[in-house]
């Protein structure tokens, strides 16, 4: 696979994923909101765990 083809494939995959996200947001906004809320909650829990870990090191 050449460099140009790989770049084109990356663009197609990126725009396809963006299209699927937009379709999901528009067709099922409640489910999309719950998905985002769950992802943010997971990130916050991970950050809290890391903070606790570094606090224990000192």
Give tens-digit pLDDT for 2-34: 667 888 999 999 999 999 999 999 999 999 999
Check residue 58 and give its pLDDT: 75
CA 36 to CA 21: how far, in whole Å? 11
pTM for the structure as a whole:
0.63
Check residue 12 and give its pLDDT: 94
CA 41 to CA 24: how far, in whole Å? 20
**Site of tokens 């909650």:** 41
CA 31 to CA 48: how far, in whole Å? 26
């Amino acid at each position: 696979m050449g460099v140009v083809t790989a770049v084109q494939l990356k663009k197609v995959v990126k725009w396809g994923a963006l299209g699927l996200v937009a379709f999901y947001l528009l067709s099922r906004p409640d489910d999309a909101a719950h998905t985002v809320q769950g992802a943010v909650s997971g990130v916050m829990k991970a950050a809290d765990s890391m903070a606790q870990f570094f606090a224990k090191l000192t």
